[in-house]
Amino acid sequence: MIPMTLDEIARACGASPHDVPDPGALVTAPAAVDSREVTPGGLFAATAGARTDGHDHAAAAVAAGAVAVLAARPVGVPALVVADVRLALGLLARELLRRISPTVIGLTGSVGKTTTKDLLAQVLERHAATVATDRSYNNELGLPLTVLRADAATRHLVLEMGASRKGDLTYLTGIAPPQVGLVLNVGTAHLERMGTGRADVAEAKGELVEALPADGYALLNADDPYVLGMAARTEAQILLYGRSPRARVRAERVRMDERARTAFELVTPSGHAPVALDLIGEHQVSNALAAAAVATALGLDAAEIADGLTAARRRSAGRLQITERPDGVTVVDDAYNANPESMRAGLRAAKALAGVRRTVAVLGGMGQQADASRARHAEVGRLVAGLRFDVLITVGTGDPLATAEAARSSGVAVHAVEDVTEAIELATALLEPGDVVFVKASSEYGLGACARALATANQ
């Protein structure tokens, strides 16, 4: 955050000060929406969450060092009162970006945003001061919070942008107009809310490239026809990446080591250089190429990019996070979230990692699959069988039972349990030294707790 007075902040977001003794007081630290994350000199934004209303924590935030609270009503401590706190945060972020001018890089897609954002940040931060989205803070609240972490020294601002519905990306790019836009893929995530097909998802995600200026760059995945189709929707220069030979940033001689990590020769317009990723699964090649395409547009050469990708490590939890237990069990925690694409990628990666070892899958359901939900869950069951998993534990009633049925009728040993506690008990009892266990479901299934329990058992 660059220092701004309360008065300047109030003007940037149309707020009226209440209980503010000194309008000249300086905010010097970033904004937070969780009073426990307030740092001295920061701003606390009071928002109503699912469980708690930030306004109830206003006094605690000021006690923790917040200079003031951005709030929807007076709260008895210094406050800047606005009609809509989320909109106000966006306006403030927009103002900050008028004062400093980092290169804004927006990235979106159905799967792999956080993974790719983490890779890209690790490539860029070796060269210049980089601020990137924390965790998966990719919506109308998280994006301004990320922008507000930037300061005058920031050269690259990497912003994960989520799109649940049409208009989301137009809103986010209005707050942080990108010079560089990356679209990863158009999958079936969020179908329930967005419409019915991939064309609707593409319509929404393409808003990112529509926001790019003529002297900007659109980095498009040449392997995804819906992403490729977005080329017609932007004035910006286009650079294609992918496995396709028409991609100018591509991977050659892709191979996988015994721990399911991929290595390849990175080819960019500046030359080629070897990459060895630390992340598991073949799908990471696409994520790495996406990061490489952005870095290429920003002027890095193939060797610099390859070195950054090779040095990069997994940063965000619950995405193919691996724990080797002392008894020789390997736990693959992919329980952060799930949709059909990531389920497929994760199951394949776990199987590649396992090789000939016994494999157990603990799977809940995938949310937001609309009318196709049961069919997609059955497909997962058939994939579990096709990949020759030895044991499947499904967790939950409803859709996961479609996965169980399909796998059982294809010959897998299946146990269907109702909740996470039962899943932990059963998996703990079943696992034997040398096994690989893969845990995944949509976040609402809460299987992260199962993955963590299995990872810490026997220690």
By CB under 6 A, name the binding residues for ligand ATP: 109, 111-115, 136, 138, 162, 283, 286-287, 319-320, 334, 336-337, 341-342, 345-346
Considering CB under 5 A, how many residues would be counted as binding Mg ion? Answer: 3
Query: Which option in Mg ion, ligand ATP, none does residue 283 bind, with CB closer than 5 to 8 A by kind?
Result: ligand ATP
113 binds Mg ion (CB under 5 A): yes
Query: Could you tell me which stretch among 105-113, 170-178, 234-242, 394-402 binds Mg ion (CB under 5 A)?
Result: 105-113
The CA distance from 227 to 230, in Å, is: 5
- Report how far residue 111's alpha carbon sits from residue 113's, in angstroms, rounded to the nearest whole number: 6
Cβ 146 to ligand ATP, closest distance in Å? 13
Q: Is 380 buried (19+), middle (13-18) or exposed (0-12) by CB count in 10 A? A: buried
Rounded CA separation 169/155 (Å):
22
β 249-256/261-268 pair status: antiparallel
Question: Both tokens of residue 237?
Answer: 């220069």
Q: Name the minimum Å distance from CB 205 to ligand ATP.
A: 11
When CB distances are held under 5 to 8 angstroms depending on the partner's kind, the choice from Mg ion, ligand ATP, none that residue 270 binds is none
What's the rounded Cα separation, in Å, for the pair 203 and 186?
Answer: 10
Find the shortest distance in angstroms from Cβ 172 to ligand ATP.
13
- Give the pair of three-digit tokens for residue 130: 């980089």
CB atoms within 10 A of CB 175: 22
Name the residue nearer to Mg ion (CB basis): 75 or 169.
Answer: 169
Pairing of β 237-242 and β 249-256: parallel
Alpha-carbon torsion 218, 221, 222, 226, what sign? negative
Q: How far is the CB of 115 from ligand ATP (least distance, A)?
A: 3
In this chain, which stretch among 8-16, 93-101, 107-115, 176-184 interacts with Mg ion, using CB under 5 A? 107-115
440 contributes a contact to Mg ion by CB under 5 A:
no
Judged by CB, which is closer to Mg ion: 113, or 149? 113
Ranges assigned E (strand) in 151-226: 156-160, 180-183, 217-221
With CB cut-offs between 5 and 8 Å by kind, which of ligand ATP, Mg ion, none does residue 164 bind?
A: none
Residue 80 or 280 with smaller CB distance to Mg ion: 280
Nearer to Mg ion, 186 or 266 (CB): 186
**Contact flag: residue 136 with Mg ion (CB under 5 A):** yes
Chosen from ligand ATP, Mg ion, none, partner binding at 377 (C-beta under 5 to 8 Å by type): none
SS (H, E, C) 74-123: CCCCCEEECCCHHHHHHHHHHHHHHHCCCEEEEEECCCCHHHHHHHHHHH
Q: Which is nearer to Mg ion, 133 or 296 (CB)?
A: 133
- In the complex with Mg ion, which residue's Cβ is closer, 135 or 246? 135
For 177, the token pair is 């107009």
The tokens describing 435, both together, are: 């096994």
CB of 207 to ligand ATP, least distance (A): 16
CB of 423 to Mg ion, least distance (A): 24
Strand, helix or coil at 273? strand
Measured from the CB atom, is 133 or 394 closer to Mg ion?
133
Q: Which of 108, 114, 185, 403 binds Mg ion (CB under 5 A)?
A: 114
The angle that helices 198-205 and 168-175 make with each other, rounded to 10 degrees, is 20
Q: Provide the binding-site residues for Mg ion, judged by CB under 5 A.
A: 113-114, 136
